[in-house]
Structure 1
């Protein structure tokens, strides 16, 4: 129960990796607001009860929507302690041919959406006496992947944004870190492990010999959100099973 009494926002929290993060936080005693554009199947409400899980429709690309998420969270649960910026997307395409709107959409969602969430959450975290901000980066923040320039660029930028925010917010008792998953079996990563041709190329790069699980990433987020990580700040935690890259 490392997060007992804590209120956690997880953007993109209704499916994929976001749902795994929300489940991990709930299992550790937190109250969780799942923010996403659509509710999907909110089985979490049925499993943990409406007094511990709340869905708030949110588009992280829209500053007004994000600001409403923060006020709705405090109105519903009374405070905010942890923000997990997980909402993200990828539009694949070679840089010479990808439609500019599709490229820009990735930056708007992944990077600017993270900025909007952090900016809007800071006053509420200060009001709680401090807190945690955790962004979800990626192994591709530091590894070249042809055809994924927007995604790689957005995740690399998120990691520098995290370090900058950590420096600015440390005096408020707010730590800012990131988790950088490798190949996992949920969310965007599921497409890779389900493609036999791609998986054959990837498997040899994993020291652990397997994909990670959403739960393994979720527990890493819980660690950074908990008092166990009170002296961890401005850190990028790689959760990739020992990923080699040539």
Structure 2
């Protein structure tokens, strides 16, 4: 039995990396998904195998009006919105002493202001659902400092606290809010890390299971939080990291 039958989800940054894995998992469980990203390049090809259950809509999470329009597209196309996955984000690495303010601001604008817009604009739609779900995306670096990642660590730590606060505020409206916090995952930058044996050999001992996670494992966790199975989970940061020590 599919767990998200006829649910409608919006996944920002959903045409590649972990966002795509979440999109694929949702579609496999019966959901219809509107995938959003700033640029359309490669989106059609990435989603082609999912058929009509996944459609692309261009949107910039930094712009509240753009996010509002995105949710309107989802509601008009599929009759409502049940799930918002605020996945869009970026990293601007570099030590603080040499980090350009523009890079710092870009990380905050996308990772935090974008998150704010996605959550705020989704609330009216999710209230109508009666069974609304919001899933935010953090990272193992949201609770573990590392050199050269001040903007990313800071915004992901803030994401986790934002999730907990909003979970308290939206529970009376029938909306749960939870956060996924992946560790070393074999997607995107993680795939490059795994391919570099000299570097991965330094990190592998930190993972109790001794391996990287898969994008499918992150997708499965997202389905759990979005489905009735996770209906009593609220304000939780779910770590998907194989038992990561730091």
Q: Give the TM-score range, shorter chain.
A: over 0.9
Q: Partner residue of 2:4?
A: 3
Q: In the TM superposition, what are the counterparts of 1:136-215 in structure 2 within 5 Å?
A: 136-215=137-216
Count of residues paired in the alignment? 244
Shift of 1:44: 5.5
Shift of 1:201: 1.2
Q: Does residue 1:63 correspond to 2:44, yes or no?
A: no
Q: Distance in 2 between matches of 1:27 and 1:127?
A: 24
Q: Partner residue of 2:99?
A: 98
After superposition, give the CA deviation of every residue in 1:109-146 in whole Å (9 maximum; x if it has no partner).
11111111000000000111231000011000110111
- Say if 1:23 and 1:44, in contact at 8 Å, map to a contact too: no
Shift of 1:209: 0.9
After superposition, give the CA deviation of every residue in 1:196-239 in whole Å (9 maximum; x if it has no partner).
33212111101111111110001000000000011100000000
Dislocated runs of 4+, deviation >4 Å: none
Q: Partner residue of 2:49?
A: 47
- Say if 1:130 and 1:172, in contact at 8 Å, map to a contact too: no
Shift of 1:37: 1.3
The range that moved more, 35-44 or 134-143, is 35-44
- Say if 2:138 and 2:179, in contact at 8 Å, map to a contact too: yes
Q: Distance in 2 between matches of 1:6 and 1:128?
A: 9
- Say if 1:10 and 1:86, in contact at 8 Å, map to a contact too: yes
The range that moved more, 161-170 or 33-42, is 33-42
| TM-score under structure 2 length normalisation | 0.96
Q: Distance in 2 between matches of 1:41 and 1:171?
A: 36
Shift of 1:45: 4.2
Q: Distance in 1 between matches of 2:160 and 2:8?
A: 24
Gapped runs of 5+ residues in structure 1? none
Q: Partner residue of 1:16?
A: 17
Q: Distance in 1 between matches of 2:44 and 2:102?
A: 31
- In structure 2, the residue corresponding to 1:159 is in which secondary structure? helix
Higher helix fraction (1 or 2)? 2
After superposition, give the CA deviation of every residue in 1:19-44 in whole Å (9 maximum; x if it has no partner).
00100111111001110112324345
Q: Partner residue of 1:33?
A: 34
The range that moved more, 121-130 or 236-245, is 121-130
Q: Distance in 2 between matches of 1:215 and 1:183?
A: 13
| TM-score under structure 1 length normalisation | 0.96
Q: Does residue 1:74 correspond to 2:85, yes or no?
A: no
Q: Distance in 2 between matches of 1:115 and 1:194?
A: 35
Gapped runs of 5+ residues in structure 2? none
Q: Distance in 2 between matches of 1:185 and 1:33?
A: 24
Shift of 1:103: 1.3
